[in-house]
Structure 1
Amino acid sequence: MNFDQLKYFLTIVKTGSFSEAADEMFISQSSMSKQIKALEHELGIDLFKREHSKIYLTSAGKKFLDYAQNTIKDHNDIRLYLDEFVKKSSKTIRIRSIPVVSAYGVSERIAEFTTFYTSDVNVIIDMHESSQDDVQKELKENKIDLALIRTEFLENIDEFEVIPYLDDVFVLACSKNHPLSKNKEVSLKDAAQYPLSLLSPSSKLYTIVVKAMANQGLYVKPNCLTTRHKILLEIVQKSDSISILPDRLVDTKIFPNIITINLKEDLHSSVAWVRKKEQRVNAIAKEFWNYWKQYYNEEA
């Protein structure tokens, strides 16, 4: 029995498929099947029962699942603990973020960290942007070290440590030729009179705007939805449609024909760095967390 076999077993359980598990682990399906058969032979039990194209855990497999999960967790914890005592030429920080990195100055500060806050270590930043729900899932499953997300949507917040980053204030965005463009301030009721373009429902920004309008008794159906805020701004710049977005996402240098107008309602969202309490991370990830904590204290 080896750790690779345990990881293959857990991946099969997660995906419910030998082929999908093989793809995720970057090996051939035949190699994975041979590894699982070797494990079953060593244990003297069947871990899976196979019926047509579906697979199920046997009773013994269900018992073995607890063992495998605990063993892999202990293995990862030991490696992270001992990592502090081992000199390495490079270390990885696993980060996930909602799609705000370029607009919120995150990349500049990461560059500063890699330049000034490390000594003999090459920092590998494993960072991807995804939806709030996907980022939270990876955070809860210990697949990442920390995340940049909207805290009002974070479930069981007591399980996490939080470093506030910034407060997003929402504004109305429209073209300079739009009838609302002469106003210094508008209400959601004013906005509801015009075609509304929003980010897709997979974005929590959609949820914030739609909920705020519903609280005002305004039930509008957006005339356009898109997953990318820059596409959204292209639409707003060249049409009579409006949008409601965080002010920091509306770059008027890139979109010079767009103007932002303050909302009468207090519509905002809190963005923060978040990590699970008691989760072991390597030394460089700890240093990165402390860097952001120092930045927040200086800004506060």
Structure 2
Amino acid sequence: MEFRQIQYFIEVANREHVTEAAHALHVAQSAVSRQIFNLESELGVNLFIRDGRNVKLTPIGKVFLDHMKEAMKVIENAQREVQEFLDPEKGTIRIGFPSSMANYTLPTAISAFRDRYPEVKFKLSQGAYFNLVDAVVKGDIDMALLGPVPKNEKKIKGDILFLEKIVALLPMNHPLASQRSIELSQLRNDSFVLFPNGFILRDIVVEACQQLGFQPKVSFEGEDIDAIKGLVSAGLGVTLIPEITLIDSLPRSTVKLPISDPEVTRTVGIVIPSDRELLPTEKLFHEFLKDFFAVLSGFNK
């Protein structure tokens, strides 16, 4: 079995079309077909059901694909590890993050890191909280910046970088807009703009309200921070969001108010896999993040 055969097999399996796979690989279609035929002959099984140049995996082909994807990850990580041991300051870091950390938290940290290590490259993946946890577990990304830091997850481990306040964002014409702070119970009868079910920030808001004996009435939902801020700006409801997402500016026609009772917070941290060692460049960034936010937290105090 050759490395090239595995590459061709994975590309054909992903695209379910031999010609499209050949174009993506920049080789002749006949070369792809020949390598797939040789691979099947060596294994003694059919990996694909053929319909012209369209193909679909057989049941054993699906099993083989899962194993080959894992094998390719091992090979890629081995190549990266060799390269990074030769020069850790020129490696690549694959990091995931949610929308609430896209505008300030992660860009600020990366900018400071690249001041020190300008040749390190980043592959950024934005996603929902639980998808990012899953991506770290599967090895699709090296680490993820998340809030809150997951607890009791067997295949990942996290370091808390800082504690983040959750604040209320209200339309400017809201009856409470002129107050210096509010109690969460004062929003009991308001319409809320929240993330959809399954998003961790929605869970934080719902749990805070439930502790006070009420369920927030959700009138509108948005899948990213900017959408939620826009809906509040349009006067369609109130929301609770991380204060850091408002650090540069407030949306038009809105006010930000601290929540005095109860104080709503979330931990923010960096999550890495627990079953493998970080590669050298990843270790550089991981340690940098802990030091960077420790200094920031001390400064803010």
State whether TM-score is above 0.5: yes
1:101 aligned partner: 101
Q: Name the amino acid aligned to 1:18.
A: E
Secondary structure of 2:130's aligned partner:
helix
More displaced, 135-144 or 204-213? 204-213
2:44 aligned partner: 44
1:110 aligned partner: 110
Structure-2 separation of matches of 1:145 and 1:91: 12
Find the partner of 1:56 among 32, 55, 58.
Answer: 58
Matching of residue 144 in structure 1 with residue 141 in structure 2: yes
What 5-or-longer segments of structure 2 have no aligned partner? none
More displaced, 194-203 or 42-51? 42-51
Structure-2 separation of matches of 1:67 and 1:229: 37
Secondary structure of 2:58's aligned partner:
strand
Secondary structure of 1:167's aligned partner:
strand
Report the RMSD for the aligned CA atoms in angstroms.
3.6
CA separation of 1:245 and 1:89: change in aligned 2, threshold 3 A: closer
What TM-score does the superposition give when structure 1 sets the normalisation length? Answer: 0.79
Q: Percent sequence identity over matched residues?
A: 20
Q: Is the 8 A contact 2:170 2:239 kept in 1?
A: yes
Matching of residue 276 in structure 1 with residue 273 in structure 2: yes
Matching of residue 199 in structure 1 with residue 195 in structure 2: yes
What TM-score does the superposition give when structure 2 sets the normalisation length? Answer: 0.79
Q: Name the amino acid aligned to 2:196.
A: S
Q: Name the amino acid aligned to 1:114.
A: R
CA separation of 1:10 and 1:129: change in aligned 2, threshold 3 A: same
CA separation of 1:228 and 1:75: change in aligned 2, threshold 3 A: closer
Q: Is the 8 A contact 2:5 2:35 kept in 1?
A: yes
CA separation of 1:126 and 1:147: change in aligned 2, threshold 3 A: same
2:244 aligned partner: 248
What's the CA shift string for 1:93-120, capped at 9, x where partnerless? Answer: 11111113344332122122112235xx
CA separation of 1:67 and 1:256: change in aligned 2, threshold 3 A: closer
- How far has the Cα of 1:151 moved from its partner? 3.8
- How far has the Cα of 1:48 moved from its partner? 4.7
What's the CA shift string for 1:29-66, capped at 9, x where partnerless? Answer: 967655433210233333356799864323x974x568
1:127 aligned partner: 124
What 5-or-longer segments of structure 1 have no aligned partner? none
- How far has the Cα of 1:285 moved from its partner? 2.1
2:216 aligned partner: 220
Q: Name the amino acid aligned to 2:284.
A: E
Structure-1 separation of matches of 2:3 and 2:223: 39
What's the CA shift string for 1:170-218, capped at 9, x where partnerless? Answer: 2221123210113334333321212221233353211221233234332
2:205 aligned partner: 209
Structure-1 separation of matches of 2:12 and 2:152: 28
Structure-2 separation of matches of 1:103 and 1:61: 39
What's the CA shift string for 1:229-286, capped at 9, x where partnerless? Answer: 2232233233262111122223573425322222212322111111113434443222
